Amino acid sequence: MTARPPAVRIAVVGAGFAGTVVTARLLAALTRPAALTLIDANGRFGPGLAYSTDHPRHLMNTRAGTVSAVPVEPAHFTQWLSRQGAAADEDAFVPRGVYGRYLSELLDVAASRSDIPLSRVTAEAIDLVADSRGVTVRLASGDAITADHLVLCVGYGPRLPRRAGSRIVDDPWSDWCDRVAPGDAVLFRGSGLTMVDQALRLVANGHRGRMLAVSRRGLLPTTQTAAIDTLAVAPPPRLRDAVRWLRDTAAAAGDRRGAWRSAVDALRPHAQKLWLGFTPAERDRFARHVQPYWSVHRHRMPPAAAEQIERLLGDAVLKVCAGRLGAPEESAAAVCVPFTSRRRRSSSVLRAHWLVDCSDPQRALAASPLSFALVARGLASAGPAGIAFRVGSDGVFRSGADAVPGLYGLGPPGRDALGEITAIPEIREQAARVAARIAEAVNNGSAVE
């Protein structure tokens, strides 16, 4: 009797979109004995931060026809929608909670069809060591898991803890809205899509009080428009020239607001190559000066959300200001926050019943113990744009110039190597590539490549 080869150990940390898709692909592609462990701090396997909300007004900002989780089956999501008895319109912006259920089911179906055992572990990863035994991840529970291949898919990080009894809300996705009185004044730090979601959630709860959103430039996300054709001409490689190219492309397209959105969409297919060619100084200048404008044109509101926000602005229920908020001081009844206006260069103190932090969703990742450990071990860097994994364009981590065998990173923190890697289409491709690479190594009989 021949002995069965030992099962290859594979672990995935983070079960949002990236972790779910890479796990489902591995379950389908592995043909040799393996054991798969999927670890998530929240204990929800599928939705991650973006698709955990069950609020019907929290819509996806990408069309149903573009968000299949299976690269080779573009209609996979719309077919799933029709099996649920829902309208399967390719151009619809569906509630994000619906998409979260789709991802959970994708994982369940992949696990049920595979011979590979999948263990789901609810725990926060707090440290990671790669050595000759493999990659060992330490968990906050005190346990440790060693794997031959480990994929980090921690996206926006674990959820930020709540300040008990406080009017300062660090995690906008917590249940703070339920504690707000209808007439309370709410101050938002940030004016992007997270602020939009929270303002709509408040209004749906019957809120009638004032809302003020403050961000560096006071810009709101633009509105989704019809898809446009990709430009055949690539932008020039230097940041300064690329920004000028973007301006000229927008100006050539006529109508100013819509033209900018079209120009940004035209640049998107070239964004990764462009980013990879930027010097560190150019990346820094991008984060400081260009990012706010790029973000509002790139991450847009679905039309239904935009209509409601327009109404709130028109009724002066919601205001958006450019400036900086300082450190808040809290009393039993209110929060006072120093404010420096960008336009008037004047300072004042804003008083509200609630201060809700809707700024960069990567804050939670930057504050997590795992990030500190990755930075200390030289596997990630901390910069003005947050935590960035030191991964190559192949998704494999680097320590100095050397690849770290068996350690991979997916999703938004991989942007230093891949440029923008935030949205479903880019992460889907990246997850498929990494899963194929691991499956090939395992199926060919080597634990690690």
* Residue closest to ligand FAD when measured from CB atoms: 155
- Report d(CA 12, CA 18) in Å as an integer: 10
Total residues at interface with ligand FAD (CB under 6 A):
35
Please check whether residue 76 is in contact with residue 65, taking contact to mean a CB–CB distance below 8 angstroms. no
* DSSP state, residue 383: E
Collapsing DSSP to helix, strand or coil, 147 comes out as strand
Q: Quickly count: other Cβ atoms within 10 Å of residue 195's Cβ.
A: 26
CA proximity to 58, closest of 221, 208, 202: 202
> Of 111-119, 149-157, 235-243, 313-321, which part binds ligand FAD (CB under 6 A)?
149-157
- The reply to whether 320 sits near ligand FAD by the rule CB under 6 A is no
Residues numbered 368 to 387 that lie near ligand FAD (CB under 6 A) are: 368, 370
In the complex, the smallest distance separating the C-beta of residue 284 from ligand FAD, rounded to whole angstroms, is: 22
Q: Fill in the amino acid letter for 303.
A: P
- Report d(CA 225, CA 227) in Å as an integer: 6
> Of 23-31, 153-161, 271-279, 315-323, which part binds ligand FAD (CB under 6 A)?
153-161
Collect all residues with Cβ–Cβ distance below 8 Å to 381 and sequence separation of at least 6.
375, 387, 388, 390, 416
As a whole number of Å, the end-to-end CA separation of the chain is 29
Q: Quickly count: other Cβ atoms within 10 Å of residue 370's Cβ.
A: 25
> Of 33-41, 108-116, 225-233, 433-441, which part binds ligand FAD (CB under 6 A)?
33-41
User: DSSP letter string over 193-224?
Assistant: HHHHHHHHHHHHTT--S-EEEEESS-PPP-B-
Residue 36: strand pairing partners = 10, 118
Q: Which of 10, 36, 124, 301 binds ligand FAD (CB under 6 A)?
A: 124
Q: Which of 8, 9, 11, 17 binds ligand FAD (CB under 6 A)?
A: 17
Q: Which is nearer to ligand FAD, 194 or 308 (CB)?
A: 194
Q: Which is nearer to ligand FAD, 172 or 328 (CB)?
A: 172
Residues numbered 380 to 419 that lie near ligand FAD (CB under 6 A) are: 411-412
> Of 11-19, 70-78, 272-280, 436-444, which part binds ligand FAD (CB under 6 A)?
11-19
- The reply to whether 130 sits near ligand FAD by the rule CB under 6 A is no
> Of 29-37, 151-159, 312-320, 393-401, which part binds ligand FAD (CB under 6 A)?
151-159
- Report d(CA 86, CA 39) in Å as an integer: 31
- The reply to whether 100 sits near ligand FAD by the rule CB under 6 A is no
- The reply to whether 361 sits near ligand FAD by the rule CB under 6 A is yes
In the complex, the smallest distance separating the C-beta of residue 215 from ligand FAD, rounded to whole angstroms, is: 16
Q: Which of 156, 286, 294, 339 binds ligand FAD (CB under 6 A)?
A: 156
- Report d(CA 274, CA 290) in Å as an integer: 14
Stated as kind and residue range, the H or E segment containing 275 is: helix 271-277
- The tokens describing 447, both together, are 């634990």
Q: Which is nearer to ligand FAD, 243 or 365 (CB)?
A: 365
- The reply to whether 95 sits near ligand FAD by the rule CB under 6 A is no
In the complex, the smallest distance separating the C-beta of residue 236 from ligand FAD, rounded to whole angstroms, is: 27
- The reply to whether 294 sits near ligand FAD by the rule CB under 6 A is no
Residue 396: strand pairing partners = 408
